[in-house]
Structure 1
Amino acid sequence: MTKYTKYRSFLLPKEIVEVLFLTAHHIPLQDNKQSEIIVGLSIINDILSKSNQKHNSEDYPYHFNPMYSKYLQLKYGNYYNTYIEWLIIHNIIWKDFYYGGKSTYFYFQSNENYLSKINFLCKENEIPVESIGEIIDTYCLRDSIKISLISHAIKEINYIQKNRIFNKWYRIKVPITKTNKKFLTKDYEQDSTYINNAPKHIKKMGSHYRKGLKIQYEEAIEHSENRYLKELSEAKNSKEEVSAFKRYSSRISSINAIHNGSLNKTLRFKRNDTNKRLDTNLTNMASDLRPFIVGYENMSYLDLSNSQPVLFNILLQSYRKNASEALLNEIDNYFIITTSGKWYEWLQGLYGLNRNECKEIWMKIAYSKNHHNPEVKQIFKKGFPLIYGIIEEIKKEKHEDFAVELQKIESKIFIDEICKELVNHGIIPYTMHDGLLVPKEHKEKTLEIMQTILKEKLGVIPLIKVE
């Protein structure tokens, strides 16, 4: 009887993969218990696939991902540091310095740096660039890896030859073995355990999500390629070009994770331990990819307008007791503006900027360290000096605390109350933190449930957008 081999698939940028294989050929990792290639591919995939979850954490043009040593040890074993250091020493990835109880951040290099590294390694080993495939094939045979180079055609690419276009990817299939299973499928199996032990309504949502979520693959890829092309043509400098690639590769990674996600063990569905949000592939996917979800044309999307500013009202209620008249007036004024869905319009009037710029300003006010962006915050203080003082106090010890508190409130309302009530009515939604995707025939009932529960929490029905 022929034994069936299971595989874990990756879709990774061509330049990074070639640097990994060429480095293994040039200076292989000595006495490694796992293949340096397989561990390297897994770590590179972690950085690529998870970096878009941290896009508000750090203004950096390249992909990055924070990883604690405990996480790395659990995933890759006691030998993990040897693999990490090998990747760092040879400039496949790089890391910042551990500080203040924070996890270490691991980063990609720029694509230009990877190209330079490829040329250097080829020269050092007297390998013609066109022969890189032979090196890759050697290591793939060693580790029974299946690999193919793919490139989606970009229309009108000749019009922007002044830009270097990075749009080639390796599709890589790694055989799952007893020794590498722990890090190739660990996340998916942990999610399975969570779903099986979750409250009844979340268990139903998890099962529905894994069975039903599919994406129009080719159409989504073409959309991402065309958007990348447009952003490159509009880029004013190299930094904007690099950022365009980061957004593009995040989209490709998101699409690939959903495509055959159950078979490939890349669908994510788990409650976040810190902010209690339900993290899935959809919650971190770019919103412009949402229409490519299979069946989207028969779905409605409902979300709470100005969600985080609105939910801040729940926190502010605890400050009403013994508050001064001035603070009460501010809280009342803030309540009216946010619950009517006019928060960003109010910021536009204050700053004289467009809506997207004002969204970024709110992020700086609410989520950056107190001493960061002082000019922006001074302007905000003119409108809400006492409320800003409350925000500043909450962020005094850890600047993340304000965001986490709002996210906990959001999660409790949407996951523990709204979604539970929906499932009780036979409506199983896809969640995107403060938004819900449901079949169109359930749009009105979903809106009714959202309005009822939000009114209980806020005292009024806030603006809910329906698409």
Structure 2
Amino acid sequence: MAKKKAYKKYRTLHLPKAIVDNLLLKLHLGFADFDYKPEIFVSILNDIISKSSIFNKKEKFQYLFSPLDSRFLKNKYGNAYVNHIDFLASNNIIWNDNYYKNKTTYYYLLELDKYIEEYNKLLSIHNIISEDVVTPYCFTITEQNLSESTENITDLNNQKNRISTLWYKIKILITSKNKKYLTSSYNDDSTFINNAPKHIKKMGSHFRKNFKIDAEKAIAFSTTQYFENIDKAESEEEKLKAYNKYTSRVTSIKAIEGGKNSKSIYFKLNKTNGRIDTNLTNLSSDLRQFIVGYEDMVYLDLKNAQPVLFNIILKKHLINAKEDLKKEINQYFEYTTKGVWYEHLQELYSTTREESKNLWMKIAYSKNKSYRNDKKIFKDAYPNIYKIISTYKAKDHSDFAIKLQKIESDIFIDKICRKLVEKEIIPFTIHDALIVKKEHKEITLKIMESVFEETLGKIPCIKEEHHE
């Protein structure tokens, strides 16, 4: 009887060519004086880029960074992580901020030009050409020019920054020795999904199977946007932000494109705040249009979500409340549930709507001692509510945000989504918003409204988004 041929499995990573070239050249030149594993190096780089896209959600993107706790690294890579991450840091492939000493260390990538300059310098010093650099035996590398499908960009090949669109597709053979760090996250998600309540289990399986993106169009859109931002950039810092924003987006898109086969699709429980984190919650809003089938879907978003959910906490403070507090809470309730809270702050502060959002972030989520001048107008208008917010942040300023996120998760995941799945409607979720098929819009709205009526006592403003 013929022996059954073993089926080989691979993990695919996508990383900027300039960074990988720099790493491979230093390995080729013998800079690493320990028994290293090349796949650990590229996996750590992928950790930094992919986690950065989550932490840079507000798209400020001056640096691509990632907080990588030593416990996370040890659990994923074993004791080998120390030598590997020290090598990357000491050889100018990544850097870490010593300000975070005794806390989770933040690791950063450098500006792209620095990788290229050092690469060319080392080739010259050692009198070798790039073709001489050996690719490690354990993976194959394919070069990709992400600007090839981009339209309406003139003289692309003459632009210095076109090198930013050159990426490597790195295909790594999964073995018994490396599967822990190449597939562990995906396997952990599988365990969570399989052991989750019935409605979350169905949502997880549905997401893994059905969440897809038109990667070619999404990357073309992001690349066009990148070159437009480069043209508008008035400083090196703005150029760096444009590149890091682009890199972050490409990483998000490629992870979705890889899906189950590349073990890069994720659906996991955030144990801190109870949220469900997915590739979709990490996707920039203007890339949603490229979700496969999005033209037949509707996006339903709770307007002023976090300010609205704060009302659930405030309801408890109404019990035995004095008249001045009652008046503040009732006024706050009206503005937030009508979806005009930021407009109200805009009037209070005589500022723009975008700035009013930033002001709320400072009021609600910063340390009590921070931004005191910015908080003064709100404190004068809502002294009792300000005091309540400050009390929740007294021990740790993140406690208030986490409390609101837990309320959000309870309402959206445990209440709304549970009722939807019972009706055989399985949504995609984005924390305080849902994506469902257009044919399910009316029943989804009814369920959302009934849950809010029950928990808030009023139906708040729910915003709809369609893409034709």
Matches of 1:60 and 1:375, distance apart in 2: 26
Matches within 5 A, 1:208-219: 208-219=206-217
Give 3-state SS (helix, strand or coil) of 1:139's partner. coil
Q: Distance in 2 between matches of 1:301 and 1:408?
A: 22
Cα deviation 1:268-287 (Å, max 9, x = unaligned): 10110000000000001001
Aligned counterpart for 1:147 among listed residues 121, 142, 148:
142
Deviation at 1:388, TM superposition (A): 1.8
Secondary structure class of the residue paired with 1:164: helix
SS in 1 for 2:98: coil
SS across alignment from 2:260: helix
Alignment of 1:213-232 (within 5 A): 213-232=211-230
Distance 1:49 1:205 in 2: 23
* Aligned residue in 2 for 1:451: 449
Which deviations, in whole Å up to 9, do the C-alpha atoms of 1:443-462 show, x marking residues without a partner? 00000000000111111000
| AA in 2 matched with 1:22 | L
Match of 2:439 in 1: 441
Superposition RMSD in Å: 2.0
The question of whether the paired residues in 2 share the 8 Å contact of 1:26 and 1:121 is answered with no
The amino acid across from 2:303 in the alignment is S
Alpha-carbon deviation of 1:60? 5.7
Tell me the distance in 2 between the aligned counterparts of 1:391 and 1:58. 27
TM-score after normalising by structure 1: 0.93
1:160/1:233 contact within 8 Å kept: no
**Structure 2, unaligned runs of 5 or more:** none
Report the counterpart of residue 313 of structure 1 in structure 2: 311
Q: Which runs of 4+ in 1 moved over 4 A?
A: 56-60, 98-101, 159-163
Shift of 1:161: 6.5
Unaligned runs of 5+ in 1: none
* 1:344–1:355 contact (8 Å) kept in structure 2: yes
Q: Distance in 2 between matches of 1:26 and 1:449?
A: 62
Which residue of the partner structure matches residue 368 of structure 1?
A: 366
Contact 2:153 2:224 in 1 (8 A): no
| Cα distance, 1:150 vs structure 2 | 2.7
Q: Could you tell me the TM-score, scaled by structure 2's length?
A: 0.93
For the residues of structure 1 that align with 2:157 and 2:375, how far apart are their CA atoms?
A: 40
**Residues 408-438 of structure 1, C-alpha deviation per residue, up to 9 Å, x if partnerless?**
0000110001000000011000000000001
User: Structure 1 residues 161, 338: CA separation in 2 closer, same or farther (over 3 Å shift)?
Assistant: farther
Q: What amino acid sits opposite 1:444 in the alignment?
A: E
Spell out the pairing of 1:178-257 with structure 2 (5 A cutoff). Answer: 178-257=176-255
**How far apart are 1:56 and its partner, in Å?**
5.8
| Aligned CA distance change for structure 1 residues 149 and 300 (closer, same or farther; 3 Å) | closer
Q: Secondary structure at the match of 1:12?
A: strand
CA contact (8 A) 1:152 1:222 kept: yes
Helix, strand or coil: the match of 2:261?
Answer: helix
Pairwise CA distance, 1:99: 4.9
| Equivalence for 1:391 | 389
How many residues of Structure 1 are paired with residues of Structure 2 in the alignment? Answer: 459
Check whether the contact 1:327–1:386 (CA below 8 A) recurs between aligned residues: yes
1:113 and 1:55 mapped to 2: Cα distance?
A: 22
Contact kept? 1:150, 1:171, Cα under 8 Å = no
- SS of the aligned residue for 2:79 comes to coil
Aligned to 1:164: 161
Q: Is 1:21 aligned to residue 54 of structure 2?
A: no
> 1-side partners of 2:118 and 2:368: how far apart?
40
Closer, same or farther in 2 for the Cα pair 1:392/1:183, shift >3 Å? same
